[in-house]
Structure 1
Amino acid sequence: MSAPVPIRSPLPAALAGHNVLIVGGSSGIGLAAARLLSEAGAGLCLVAREETRLKEAAGSLGDGARVRVMAADVTDEVRLAEVFERAGPLDHVLLTAGAATRAPLADAAPSRVRDSFDVRFWGGYATARAAAGRLPAGGSITFMSGVYTVRPIAGAAAAIASGAACEGLARALAVELAPRRVRVNAVRSGVVDTPPLRRRLGVAQADPAQADAAVAEAGRHLPLGRFGTAEETAAAALFVMAHPYVTGSVLTVDGGQSLA
């Protein structure tokens, strides 16, 4: 029988000295998590498809950050295995990469929306397979999903289903990996002010002040009067990483959007 999961502080400060691999770490929630983890004293390995963006992301963390970058497509299992070989010892894995092609069902042939599952679900599945045997007792894998899994909108069925599938995967793997004392969770975020949201609102290339005003206006109807920030969602990921007694959970951080 394996020893119980180690007891340690459940606060993010306990992540100091831990090593975290973030898939999708070049922007948005992944980069925000990297910033918080670096401030907490964790070492980082950022993974995304575009090496240039990865290097820019690493540079934005400051000179004191312990960070490595590796370009990889999460759907390429051979490359993914190479990433984990080169990454060295890891304590936690966070998956924020995702594709969310939107189209009404009548217009959405499987080939058009398959990337929603290929990146978020199958990419997450492959990453979990690569990570599971490398993580220590008390280590963790954290998936991302979204509020639309419980409050769906029209025209995004495949993207929403892929998020729901990741929640199911997190629960199933929490049971399967429990004998290794590896924890698995998901963070269900609300709509977050990230580059994809600004692209959907058509203000990605707008003057920053105008873009901020458009985002603020679009989020005014929500229960807390605005969209969430990438940092707010990332902080939830740090919570489940740091807390040694949280597994099989789906932590909702949506500012009440699922109630609206």
Structure 2
Amino acid sequence: MTITEAPIPVRSPLPQALAGQTAVIIGGSSGIGLAAGAMLASLGARVVLTGRDKARLDAAVEHARAAGPDAEVLGVAGDAADDTAVEETFERAGTVDHVLLTAGGSPGAMPISEVTRDAARQAFEGRLWTALAAARAAVPRMNAGGSITLTSGGLVVRPRPGMTLVSAVGGVETLTRALAVELAPRRLRANTVRYGMFDTPLARGAIGAGADGAGDEVVAEAGRGTPLGRLGTADEAAAAVLFLMANPYMTGEILTIDGGQAL
């Protein structure tokens, strides 16, 4: 562990301060990860997007480049669950300032009586080990003042029947606090965004909503019962990530953004 006597660098906590910094987004080919990548590119950050589907990743890179024509945007195809692919991603990225991990599937609804060891292993490896492996690969390449941002969900604090396994992988929040303490001597930060339901391709798939007009109505109906009357957008979700990356005095925090859905 590298220890520095210098305090964490002081800089503007506004998103504009991310210009010129490098951000790696693991799971950046769609949804919140893609929205964050486009926002970062629009601010002049260097962005590295990863994803399993090469065609979708290529489209994501073009989308981010369109948002920030003067920014460097690199796409690295690979599975976040593949340790070798994660290491290669950071080798190609070089020196890194920020990491966002949105990858990692959900095991879905399953009563506890039907939970198997294989299902649990897949769930934990998909969320917790992926986060650990990303941090392990990133930390040696990160600049002081940099950050690792993980993602969690509202089921951690408001579980529902049949979602015990999904809630259990919310251990990523505990991991966040542990990383914040361990990485502090390096003057690196770790935070998590706890999301509610947002209008993303992943959420649409979960509620059976397509990308057409009929799917839009399904999404609208899903949002009518929330305090603000609609689901949030991917951009609204991604803005929380940029806040955590930009503010150099945020570490060990679990930031909830759910439009009041937990209420």
How would you bin the TM-score normalised by the shorter chain? over 0.9
Identical aligned residues as a percent: 51
Q: CA deviation at 1:170?
A: 0.7
Q: Give the match's secondary structure for 2:255.
A: strand
1:32 to 32, 35, 38: 35
Equivalent residue number for residue 46 of structure 1:
49
Report whether the alignment pairs 1:227 with 2:231.
yes
Q: Equivalents in 2 of 1:79, 1:195: separation in Å?
A: 24
Q: Equivalents in 1 of 2:185, 2:16: separation in Å?
A: 26
Equivalent residue number for residue 142 of structure 2:
135
Equivalent residue number for residue 157 of structure 1:
164
1:110 to 117, 127, 137: 117
Q: Equivalents in 2 of 1:138, 1:78: separation in Å?
A: 26
Range with greater deviation from structure 2 (149-158 or 39-48): 149-158
Q: Give the match's secondary structure for 1:137.
A: strand
Equivalent residue number for residue 24 of structure 2:
21
2:153 to 135, 146, 151: 146
Q: Equivalents in 1 of 2:54, 2:122: separation in Å?
A: 20
Q: Give the match's secondary structure for 1:258.
A: coil
Equivalent residue number for residue 213 of structure 1:
217
Q: CA deviation at 1:147?
A: 1.0
Q: Give the match's secondary structure for 1:61.
A: helix
Whichever residue aligns with residue 259 of structure 2, its letter is G
Q: Equivalents in 2 of 1:80, 1:198: separation in Å?
A: 27
TM-score normalised by structure 2 residue count: 0.93
Whichever residue aligns with residue 214 of structure 2, its letter is Q
Q: Which runs of 5+ in 2 are unaligned?
A: none
Q: Give the match's secondary structure for 1:91.
A: strand
1:78 to 79, 84, 87: 84
Deviations 1:91-118 (A, max 9, x none): 1000011211212222231313533221
Equivalent residue number for residue 189 of structure 2:
183
Equivalent residue number for residue 132 of structure 2:
125
Is the CA contact 1:144–1:189 (under 8 Å) kept in the aligned structure 2? yes
Whichever residue aligns with residue 127 of structure 2, its letter is R
Q: Give the match's secondary structure for 1:223.
A: coil
Deviations 1:187-223 (A, max 9, x none): 0111111112211222226xx2221111111111111
Is the CA contact 2:26–2:33 (under 8 Å) kept in the aligned structure 1? yes
- What value does the CA root-mean-square deviation take over the aligned residues? 1.3
Equivalent residue number for residue 10 of structure 1:
13
Q: CA deviation at 1:52?
A: 1.6
Q: Equivalents in 1 of 2:207, 2:103: separation in Å?
A: 20
Report whether the alignment pairs 1:167 with 2:167.
no
Deviations 1:9-33 (A, max 9, x none): 0000000001000000000110010
Q: Equivalents in 2 of 1:33, 1:115: separation in Å?
A: 27
Is the CA contact 1:25–1:47 (under 8 Å) kept in the aligned structure 2? yes
Q: Equivalents in 2 of 1:193, 1:113: separation in Å?
A: 27
Equivalent residue number for residue 237 of structure 1:
241
Q: Equivalents in 1 of 2:85, 2:25: separation in Å?
A: 15
Q: Equivalents in 2 of 1:228, 1:115: separation in Å?
A: 29
Q: What is the total number of aligned residue pairs between the two structures?
A: 256
Is the CA contact 2:38–2:65 (under 8 Å) kept in the aligned structure 1? no
Q: Equivalents in 2 of 1:3, 1:232: separation in Å?
A: 35
Q: Equivalents in 2 of 1:200, 1:77: separation in Å?
A: 27
Q: Which runs of 5+ in 1 are unaligned?
A: none
Range with greater deviation from structure 2 (61-70 or 247-256): 61-70
Q: Give the match's secondary structure for 2:129.
A: helix
Q: Give the match's secondary structure for 1:160.
A: helix
